[in-house]
Structure 1
Amino acid sequence: MSGNTEKDRNDQFDPGTYPVDQSLELELPEPILESSTSIEQALAERQSVRSYSGRSLALSDVSQLLWAAQGITRDSFFRTAPSAGALYPLEVYLVVGNVDGVVAGVYRYVSSRHSMLRVLDGDRRDELCRVSLSQPQIRDAAAVVVIAADYSRTTVKYGIRGIRYAHVEVGFAAENVYLQGVSLGIGTCAVGAFDDGEVASILDLPVNEEPLLIMPIGYV
């Protein structure tokens, strides 16, 4: 990748395989960079939450959580979670069921534009729950974050070890979501028990992307 500009790298990895249809893209509110919750407080209060209030999520809070997972932080390229070689193999999807002003469906987070691109219509929470050992928090959450990886982005440089690096990276991104959730009053629970092929089918993931983690989100 030597010689590529930051713009070239963003164009290569983001927005990926989906065409950009402006009618399907939702610009997100700008993320905030300060709050009354210290990092120490967020660490102390972080826990897995499986029961939610049933309230619809504010779009501003959804925006903040997606930014925490894979948002741009500086130089129009680097992201909130560290990545081996800054190759960023992760892709973040949001399965929307109950978000203020947002049509139910599956959305792909576009880091470079801080937006969501609708890739599928319809509420898919029940389907995700079914293929995740029927864990009810997935069905009951207002929305569900699904993190997938394109291993080829890291294996092209690091060989088979790049798969390990992608697995490490999903842990970074998930913890960011947990900690950001504390400051917003939003709970989540990392779910790794699911049928990979079924999840990929439900979300209509590109063939080069593998689902790694499911994180239902809702107000505590």
Structure 2
Amino acid sequence: SPSRGLGDVYKRQTQGISSKGGLRTVPSAGALYPLEVHIVIGKGSGLEAGIYRYIAEEHSLIQEISGDMRTKLSEAALSESMIKNAPVSLVISAVYPRITSKYGKRGLRYAHMEAGHAAQNVYLLGVELGIGTCAVGAFDDEEVKKVLKMPANEDPLYILPLGYI
């Protein structure tokens, strides 16, 4: 189905492994990869509606929450209708200790740069496939963390709703 294809294509381009050496599709300071990618799937997408975490090393998804969570995620994002209506949204988050353990405070900057690179890949692939997105940064961090049941050491950075134009 189209929605399933959206999630599969984008998870690989956002944080997928691009080489046999384990490097990913976006540059990462020290190859420490502080980012996590969550895929929020709605009903009728070919996959069970829910929230999945992308596991780059296995190129797989692990369902963490079942059910259509788009409305709750939208509410956490100041009721942004794109998130509620998109068949698939990506949520890019950071586990800062992965990178600050080596780079200190500067690691925060590196994680944010990496998130920008990942989001840029989403936009570039979208142009090629005729899929629209809009990076959403206006959200309540704690509410997004609750909806996605993120661990305490993980912080949301972007929500990228995806849909055919």
TM-score, normalised on structure 2? 0.96
Give the whole-Å Cα distance in 1 for the aligned partners of 2:45 and 2:84.
18
Indicate the residue corresponding to 1:86 in structure 2.
31
Indicate the residue corresponding to 1:65 in structure 2.
10
Equivalent AA in structure 2 for residue 211 of structure 1: P
Q: How many residues align?
A: 165
Shift in Å, 1:184:
1.6
Stretches of structure 1 lacking an aligned partner (at least 5 in a row): 1-55
Indicate the residue corresponding to 2:115 in structure 1.
170
Quick check: 1:105 aligned with 2:105? no
Give the whole-Å Cα distance in 2 for the aligned partners of 1:70 and 1:97.
21
Indicate the residue corresponding to 1:126 in structure 2.
71
Do the aligned partners of 1:98 and 1:143 also contact (CA within 8 Å) in 2? no
Give the whole-Å Cα distance in 2 for the aligned partners of 1:193 and 1:94.
18
Shift in Å, 1:59:
2.4
Q: Deviations over 1:100-157 (max 9, x none)?
A: 3200000001111111110001111101111211111111111110000000011010
Stretches of structure 2 lacking an aligned partner (at least 5 in a row): none
Give the whole-Å Cα distance in 2 for the aligned partners of 1:99 and 1:219.
15
Do the aligned partners of 1:57 and 1:218 also contact (CA within 8 Å) in 2? no
SS of the counterpart of 1:78? coil
Taking a change above 3 Å as real, the CA distance of residues 99 and 150 of structure 1, as seen in their structure-2 partners, is farther
Indicate the residue corresponding to 1:192 in structure 2.
137
Taking a change above 3 Å as real, the CA distance of residues 99 and 166 of structure 1, as seen in their structure-2 partners, is farther
Matches within 5 A, 1:1-220: 57-98=2-43, 100-220=45-165
SS of the counterpart of 1:208? coil
Give the whole-Å Cα distance in 2 for the aligned partners of 1:72 and 1:173.
13
Shift in Å, 1:98:
4.1
SS of the counterpart of 1:75? coil
Identity among equivalent pairs (%): 52
Measured on the aligned residues, the alpha-carbon RMSD in Å equals 1.2
Do the aligned partners of 1:99 and 1:143 also contact (CA within 8 Å) in 2? no
Equivalent AA in structure 2 for residue 81 of structure 1: V
Give the whole-Å Cα distance in 2 for the aligned partners of 1:109 and 1:75.
18
Do the aligned partners of 1:95 and 1:105 also contact (CA within 8 Å) in 2? yes
TM-score, normalised on structure 1? 0.72
Shift in Å, 1:64:
1.3
Give the whole-Å Cα distance in 1 for the aligned partners of 2:132 and 2:11.
14
Indicate the residue corresponding to 1:7 in structure 2.
none
- Structure 1 runs, 4 residues or longer, greater than 6 Å off: none
